[in-house]
Amino acid sequence: MNTTNRRDFLLKSGAVIAGSSLATACSTGDSPQKAQAPYINFNDTFRWKMVTTWPPNFPILGEGCNQFAQWVKEMSGGRMEITVYGGGELVPALEVFDAVSSGAVEVGHGAGYYWAGKIPAAQVFATVPFGMNAQQMNAWYIGGGGTELWQETYRDFNLIPYPGGNTGMQMGGWFNQEIRTLEDIQGLKMRIPGIGGKVFNRAGGTSVLVAGGEIYTNLERGVIDATEWIGPFHDYQMGFYQVAKYYYYPGWHEPGTALELTVNKEKYEALPSDLQNIIATAAERLNNWSLCRSEAMNSQYAVKLAEEEGVQFRRFPDDVLATFRKYSEEVVADLTGQDPLAKRAYESYATFQQQMAQYTPYNEQIYHSNFGALA
Q: Are 349 and 132 in contact (CB under 8 A)?
A: yes
pLDDT of residue 368: 78
CATH no. of 46-167+256-295: 3.40.190.170
- pLDDT confidence tier of residue 25, bands split at 50, 70 and 90: very low
Does position 352 have pLDDT exceeding 60, yes or no? yes
Region class of 190: left (phi > 0), else alpha (psi between -120 and 50), else beta: beta
Q: Using an 8 Å Cβ cutoff, are 198 and 117 in contact?
A: no
- Residue 93 CB coordination number (10 Å): 21
Question: At residue 80, what are phi and psi to the nearest 5 degrees?
Answer: -135, 125
Q: Specify the pLDDT at position 16.
A: 46
23 pLDDT above the threshold of 70 = no
pLDDT of 375 above 80: no
pLDDT band at 15 (very low <50, low <70, confident <90, very high): very low
Q: Which distant-in-sequence residues (6+ apart) come within 8 Å of 358 by Cβ?
A: none
- CA atoms of 158 and 108, how far apart (whole Å): 13
Separation CA 62–CA 39 (nearest Å) = 34
Q: Are 153 and 278 in contact (CB under 8 A)?
A: no
The kind and range of the H/E element at 84 are: strand 80-85
Q: What is the pLDDT of residues 38-82, one digit of tens each?
A: 666 667 899 999 999 998 999 999 999 999 999 999 999 999 999
pLDDT single digits (tens) 167-217? 999 999 999 999 999 999 999 999 998 899 999 999 999 999 887 778 999
pLDDT value at position 365? 81
- 306: enclosing H helix or E strand: helix 273-308
The answer to whether the CB of 160 falls within 8 A of the CB of 195 is no
- What is the residue extent of each domain of the chain? 46-167+256-295, 173-254+308-342
Least confident of 18-22, 157-161, 173-177, 183-187: 18-22
CATH tag, 173-254+308-342: 3.40.190.10
Query: 46-167+256-295 with 173-254+308-342: one CATH topology?
Result: yes
pLDDT digits 0-9 by tens, 257-315: 999 999 999 999 999 999 999 999 999 999 999 999 999 999 999 999 999 999 999 99
pLDDT at position 32 over 80: no
Higher pLDDT among residues 104 and 18, named by residue: 104
- Using DSSP bridges, classify how beta strands 258-264 and 159-166 pair: parallel, antiparallel or unpaired: antiparallel
Nearest CA to 80 among 67, 91, 71, 93? Answer: 71
Cis peptide before 59 (omega within 30 of 0): no
The radius of gyration of the chain from alpha carbons, rounded to an integer in Å, stands at 23
d(CA 167, CA 281): 20
Question: Cα 27 from chain centroid?
Answer: 43
Average pLDDT, the chain: 90
Q: Is the pLDDT of residue 28 over 60?
A: no
CA-to-CA dists, residue 4 to 9, 15, 16, 249, 344, angstroms: 9, 16, 18, 49, 34
The predicted-structure confidence for 243-265, as pLDDT tens digits, reads as follows 999 999 999 999 999 999 999 99
Residue 7 pLDDT level (bands cut at 50, 70, 90): low
Compute CA 86 distance to the chain's CA centroid, rounded to the nearest angstrom. Answer: 18
Confidence category of residue 11, pLDDT binned at 50, 70, 90: low
Q: How far apart are CA 96 and CA 52, in angstroms?
A: 6
Residue 252 CA to residue 173 CA, distance in Å, equals 10
Please report the pLDDT score of residue 231 as a whole number: 96
Which amino acid would we find at residue 169?
M
